[in-house]
């Protein structure tokens, strides 16, 4: 009978392959730890208080900035000796800020930009901040590129948004401690410079009247580091053609057999295709085109990969648990309970992502976190996603334990076999157990990465102060682990070019099995992917 490469590959060749893959995994961790900078960077910008003396306050051609020709004069809200109304005050944020007297500009490698407002409110006994105050923000975002006149800014987007402001103060403090307010999120950094003008209008008697005495306004901008993006895209550029090549090789060997592909082989193909979709270095397009949907597209690609990876692990363990009728061929219908749970989780996250980043394609100032219902809904999705992935991992551990228990029960029949056949199956079982333990390790790191990713993405958008250091080494290490793990599966579970001709005669000389090599793939009529699955599904061993 024929089997897979993991069953028929010699120990020396298998050791060389595993050593090579292990070195690749270590390299991925070292690249993230030694070469790549931190994944993201945050800068705080103090808003420049400008006075608008024009009669038309919403003129989109009038911009206020603090650097360059035509910049406004900064005024101090504490030292006002003249009557200036709230409608005349504009907070200007020019991005990025200079460093060491050098003018900096954004790079398209930095991918995205998130803006979070921080109110600095002075305590005054006659102007106390009420709990859950509603702040109305008139925000306008403009851009400028290198070579443009210093006084020429082009409108990017504008919106009037309402945010909830939570502030508290102790008796011995001078300023209120206020929660951060998410303001905008750009899916691409196509332009060199950005300018944000913020007004706090008082068009109605109750608008912005309960926010106390505002002293300063800060803007925290978060963007992906360009150096990390270069390392990340470089890894994608290397892995993308490698996975495509091994996928073509794997499917070619499957079609050389005289049988239809079994379920596990189909799942390996789908998993490889999902990884190719994730590896596709579409980030190169953002260097030449303004693609604000790249964040949403990236979430969709990663969601498809997670769905296929989690589904594959369930089926991979299930195929060795005898959960289906041993006389019937495996199919997806037998795993509908397992797969429906994975599909439900992925669909829920997709709906949540469309409600956030889908709407931001039209209005970058929109955020699902600005309302109590939206915040509770978002936190519920994140918490449920974390709990679900944790429960999934525990269930996967249970399935793997069941697989090991099933194989151990079947292993009791090995002493009744001839020595060569017994050694053959013992080697297969040892290799399979090692692969299952590697699967559990990959699943554990994937679940940890998924949970940390969800928390790290939302830590700027809720009130809790959660410090998470999502290091570059973990990013590149887990990403490399996915590629190396799936690469190993495609290689080791491809049909072997070797054949074990095993006889069951009673003669001692005829009991010896011999490994015969063929130039091509031999004819195959069995519906099993490997001799291991055939072995553990046998009702009786002669």
- Tokens representing residue 330 in the block: 């495996």
Local structure of 186: helix, strand or coil: strand
Q: Where do the structural domains in the chain lie, given as residue ranges?
A: 2-39+227-537, 40-224
* pLDDT over 50 (residue 256): yes
Highest mean pLDDT of the ranges 72-81, 146-155, 331-340, 458-467: 146-155
Question: Full-prediction pTM beyond 0.75?
Answer: yes
- Strand ranges in 403-524 using DSSP code E only, listed in sequence order: 495-501, 514-517
Q: Are 246 and 487 in contact (CB under 8 A)?
A: yes
- Looking at the DSSP assignment, which residues form a beta bridge with residue 118? 218
Residue 417: helix, strand or coil by DSSP? coil
| Residue found by looking up tokens 């305590």 in the block | 123
Q: Is the pLDDT of residue 282 over 90?
A: yes
Read off the pLDDT of residues 1-45 as tens digits, 9 standing for 90 and up.
456 777 777 778 888 988 999 999 999 989 988 888 888 888 899
Query: CA Rg, the chain, in Å?
Result: 30
Q: Is the bond leading into 96 cis (omega within 30 degrees of zero)?
A: yes
The 3-state DSSP composition of the chain as helix, strand, coil percent (nearest 5) reads: 45, 20, 35
Q: What is the 3-state secondary structure (H, E, C) of 355-368?
A: HHHHHHCCCCCCCH
What CA–CA distance (Å, rounded) separates 255 from 251? Answer: 6
- At CB < 8 A and 24+ separation, what contacts does 298-305 make? 299/353, 299/357, 300/350, 300/353, 301/277, 302/278, 303/346, 303/349, 303/350, 303/353, 304/274, 304/277, 304/278, 305/274, 305/275, 305/277, 305/278, 305/482
Which of 176-190, 435-449, 492-506 is predicted least confidently? 492-506
The pLDDT score that the predictor gives to residue 221 is 92
pLDDT band at 508 (very low <50, low <70, confident <90, very high): very low
- Which of 31-35, 85-89, 121-125, 386-390 is predicted most confidently? 31-35
For 175-219, what is each residue's pLDDT tens digit? Answer: 888 888 889 999 899 999 999 999 988 888 788 888 888 888 999
Higher pLDDT, 320 or 96: 96
Average pLDDT over all residues of the chain: 80
| Residue linked to tokens 């991992």 | 393
Q: Check if the beta carbon of residue 324 is closer than 8 Å to that of residue 334.
A: yes
Q: Is 473 left (phi over 0), alpha (psi -120 to 50) or beta?
A: alpha
- 538: confidence class by pLDDT, cuts 50, 70, 90: low
Q: In the block, which residue shows the tokens 């990013």? A: 475
Residue with tokens 């999502």: 470
pLDDT in tens, 405-430: 877 776 666 666 666 566 666 666 76
Distance of CA 195 to the CA centre of its chain: 29
- Strand, helix or coil for residue 382: helix
User: What CATH architecture applies to the domain 2-39+227-537?
Assistant: Up-down Bundle (1.20)
Distance, in Å, from the CA atom of 352 to the CA atom of 354, rounded to the nearest integer, reads 5
Q: Tell me which long-range contacts 9-17 makes (C-beta under 8 A, separation of at least 24).
A: 9/492, 9/496, 11/427, 14/431, 17/488, 17/491
Q: Which helix (H) or strand (E) holds 250?
A: helix 226-255
d(CA 322, CA 402): 10
User: What sign results for the dihedral spanned by CA atoms 118, 122, 127, 128?
Assistant: positive
pLDDT band at 467; cut points 50, 70, 90: very low
């Amino acid at each position: 009978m024929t089997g897979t490469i993991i069953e028929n590959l010699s120990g020396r060749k298998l050791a060389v392959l595993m050593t090579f893959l292990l070195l690749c995994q270590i390299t991925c961790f070292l690249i993230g730890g030694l070469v790549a900078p931190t994944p993201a960077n945050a800068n705080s910008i103090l808003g420049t208080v400008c006075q608008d003396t024009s009669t038309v306050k919403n003129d989109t051609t009038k911009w206020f900035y603090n650097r360059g020709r035509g910049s406004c004069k900064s005024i101090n809200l504490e030292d006002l000796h003249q009557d200036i109304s709230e409608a005349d005050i504009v907070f200007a944020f020019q991005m990025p800020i200079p460093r060491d007297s050098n003018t900096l500009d954004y790079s398209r490698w930095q991918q995205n930009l998130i803006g979070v407002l921080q109110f600095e409110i002075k305590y005054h006994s006659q102007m106390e901040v009420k709990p859950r105050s509603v702040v109305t923000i008139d925000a306008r975002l403009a851009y400028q590129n290198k070579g443009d006149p210093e006084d020429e800014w082009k409108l990017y987007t504008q919106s009037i948004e309402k945010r909830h402001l939570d502030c508290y103060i102790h008796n011995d403090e001078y300023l209120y401690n206020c929660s951060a307010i998410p303001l905008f999120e750009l899916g691409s950094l196509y332009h060199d410079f950005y300018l944000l003008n913020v007004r706090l209008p008082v068009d109605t008697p109750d608008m912005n009247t309960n926010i106390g005495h505002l002293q300063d306004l800060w803007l925290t901008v978060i963007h992906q580091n360009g150096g990390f993006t270069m390392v990340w895209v470089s890894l994608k550029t290397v892995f993308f053609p490698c996975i495509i090549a091994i996928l073509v090789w794997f499917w070619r060997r499957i079609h050389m057999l005289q049988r239809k592909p079994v379920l596990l082989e189909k799942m390996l193909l789908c998993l490889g295709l999902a990884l190719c979709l994730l590896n596709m270095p579409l980030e190169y397009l953002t260097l030449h085109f303004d693609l604000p949907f790249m964040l949403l597209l990236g979430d969709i690609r990663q969601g498809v990969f997670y769905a296929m990876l989690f589904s594959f692990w369930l089926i991979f363990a299930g195929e060795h648990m005898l959960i289906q009728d041993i006389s019937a061929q495996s199919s997806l219908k037998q795993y509908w309970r397992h797969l429906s749970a994975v599909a439900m989780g992925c669909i829920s996250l997709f709906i949540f992502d469309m409600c956030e980043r889908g709407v931001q394609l039209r209005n970058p100032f929109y955020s699902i976190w600005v309302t109590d219902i939206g915040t509770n809904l978002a936190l519920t999705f994140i918490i449920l996603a974390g709990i679900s992935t944790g429960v999934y991992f525990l269930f996967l551990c249970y399935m793997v334990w069941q697989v090991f228990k099933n194989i151990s029960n079947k292993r009791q029949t090995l002493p009744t076999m001839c020595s060569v056949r017994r050694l053959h199956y013992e080697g297969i079982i040892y290799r399979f157990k090692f692969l299952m333990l590697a699967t559990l390790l990959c699943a554990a790191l994937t679940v940890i990465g998924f949970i940390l990713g969800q928390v790290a993405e939302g830590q700027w958008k809720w009130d809790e102060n959660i410090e998470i250091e999502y290091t570059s080494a973990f990013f590149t290490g887990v990403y490399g682990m996915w590629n190396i793990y799936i690469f190993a599966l495609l290689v080791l579970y491809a049909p072997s070019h070797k054949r074990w001709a095993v006889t069951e005669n009673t003669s001692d000389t005829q009991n010896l099995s011999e490994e015969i090599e063929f130039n091509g793939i031999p004819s195959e009529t069995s519906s099993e992917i490997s001799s291991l699955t055939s072995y553990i599904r046998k009702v009786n061993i002669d």
